[in-house]
Amino acid sequence: MSDTAANETAWVYCEEKAFSGASPWLLVQPYLTADKRRSLLAVSALLNELWLLPDGVSETSIGINKLHWWQQQLSAPLPRQGGHPVLAVLAQVSARPQLPISPLATLMQSLQQQMEQQSYATVDHLWDDCVMLGSAAAELSMTLVDGDSDDTLLPMGALRYFMTILGRISTAADNSAPWPVPLSLQARHQLNREQARRHPEQLSPMLSDLLADIEQRLASGWPPAGMRVGNGRHLLLAAVLDQRRLQRLRRNPALLRQPRRRPWNLAAAWAVWRRARVYPLP
């Protein structure tokens, strides 16, 4: 395969990863410059690879070994040709030969802790994980897309990661992957994974409680209207779609077990456009 063909294949691979499932990035892209769109595509594909590691393995040790492989690859100078397509694309969009160490180290450490612990005792523990992982991912994303990060937008990363957890609640009920429903919620609703597998309709009340709790935690995390957003604008606009999906699922949790619909319908596009006007560029 020629270098040009390999490059095109790498970009196609990253597009499939970045835009999979209920990803919000397709609607967010028009509000970014061409360079930032390319960087967003690369870092979103990377986060998709890392966040979904627990879902694609039969044993925790396998997932941790895969995580260590990624850690080694991302700690070294990025290869512009050959190797994993995500690494090749990251090398093309990054202004530096290596990714920023601090958010990457936090992200990797938090992912390993999550895979090792297997479950959450309470909603507080689940949300702490979302804040830790999501904030590190948001910082990494802003650094690659914008060149710097904005701490006021880190809660948007927590919401983005929670949406990944939410999808795992449905799929992991039917397989051997760790089920991320907090044990306190399972006890309150007298529902474990085996019961949820046999009677999926009983999952809805428990999910409603979880989603209502998360909505309350997010209520105070939004930047004030009119704030001029430069760095992290993509996170703020993506959060519009994540918040819409969160509200819809709270009203009808059964939607979680249905095939995910693309979020880029007319109503969603309108919501992103309105948010872009509320938070203008500097």
Taking only the tens place, the pLDDT of each residue in 143-163 is: 888 887 777 777 788 999 999
Q: What is the pLDDT of residue 43?
A: 92
100 compared with 180, residue with greater pLDDT:
180
Residue 30 to residues 19, 35, 269, Cα–Cα distance (Å): 14, 12, 10
The average confidence (pLDDT) of the chain is: 83
**Angle, nearest 10°, between helix axes 203-218 and 123-146?**
50
Q: Which domain holds residue 139?
A: 3-278
Q: Structural domain tally of the chain?
A: 1
pLDDT in tens, 250-274: 999 888 877 655 556 788 888 888 8
Residue whose structure tokens are 């044993």 = 59
Question: What token pair was written down for 27?
Answer: 């609607």
What is the domain-level CATH number for residue 109? 1.10.600.10
Distance CA 97, CA 80 (A): 10
pLDDT digits (tens, 9 = 90+) for 170-228: 776 666 677 889 999 999 999 988 888 888 888 899 999 999 999 888 876 665 555 55
Contact 66, 53 (CB under 8 A): yes
